Amino acid sequence: MAILEIVKDPDPVLRRKAEPVTQVTKRIRRLIKDMLETMYSADGVGLAAPQVGVSERVIVVDIGEGPVALINPEIEIDEASGKEIDVEGCLSIPGTFGYVERAEEVVVNGLNETGRSTRIKAEGLFARALQHETDHLDGVLFIDHALEIQSETDK
């Protein structure tokens, strides 16, 4: 495994819509392992492939309950419920935080690292992380949704 370089805003890859993964290959499984190692090394709870310069629809999340990898994740909009405003940050925008409104509960469909279809029901921080990382795949950053933005220098 390898720790990858995390791409920082305003790198254009962060604003590009990522390409769907057509086949879960050894390269994709290696990417997932490297993304997890990179995320843990940076003390993050989620990471999307564009954040390591790969414009493909792959995310990893671990809120402390074990790692989850999703390929081609899609949030079922009609299954999302509740609203919650909380603070978010991003490994690609270090030192910046913002209050973002997200659905409190979501259902996400995608493929796992073995290529099998999976459906995840999530709430709270797990739901927030899945929404945040899935946004990255569409070129959307949390600052685009933020109701208020602060930087560490504002403190």
2 falls within a domain: no
Could you confirm whether 133 is annotated as catalytic? yes
How big is the CA angle at 112 (ends 45 and 142), to the nearest 5 degrees?
35
Q: What whole-number percentage of the chain has pLDDT above 90?
A: 93
Residue 155's pLDDT is: 52
- The model's pLDDT over 106-119, given as tens digits with 9 standing for 90+, comes to 999 999 999 999 99
72 falls within a domain: yes
pTM of this structure:
0.95
85 falls within a domain: yes
Containing domain of residue 104, as a range?
12-154
Contact present, 4 and 52 (Cβ < 8 Å):
yes
Of 138 and 80, the structure prediction assigns the larger pLDDT to: 138
* Beta strand 58-61 pairing with 68-75: antiparallel
- The model's pLDDT over 43-95, given as tens digits with 9 standing for 90+, comes to 999 999 999 999 999 999 999 999 999 999 999 988 889 999 999 999 999 99
Structure tokens at 38: 């990179």
Catalytic residue among 56, 88, 113, 133: 133
Domain of residue 92, CATH code: 3.90.45.10
Contact present, 95 and 77 (Cβ < 8 Å):
no
Max alpha carbon distance in the chain (Å)? 46
Tell me: pLDDT of 100 over 60: yes
101 falls within a domain: yes
56 falls within a domain: yes
Q: How many domains are there within the chain?
A: 1
7 falls within a domain: no
**What is d(CA 90, CA 129) in angstroms, rounded to the nearest whole number?**
10
Residue 117's pLDDT is: 98
* Per-chain mean pLDDT for the chain: 96
Contact present, 60 and 36 (Cβ < 8 Å):
yes
Please compute, for residue 101, the number of CA atoms within 13 A of its CA located in the half-sphere on the CB side.
4
Tell me: pLDDT of 154 over 80: no
5 falls within a domain: no
4 falls within a domain: no
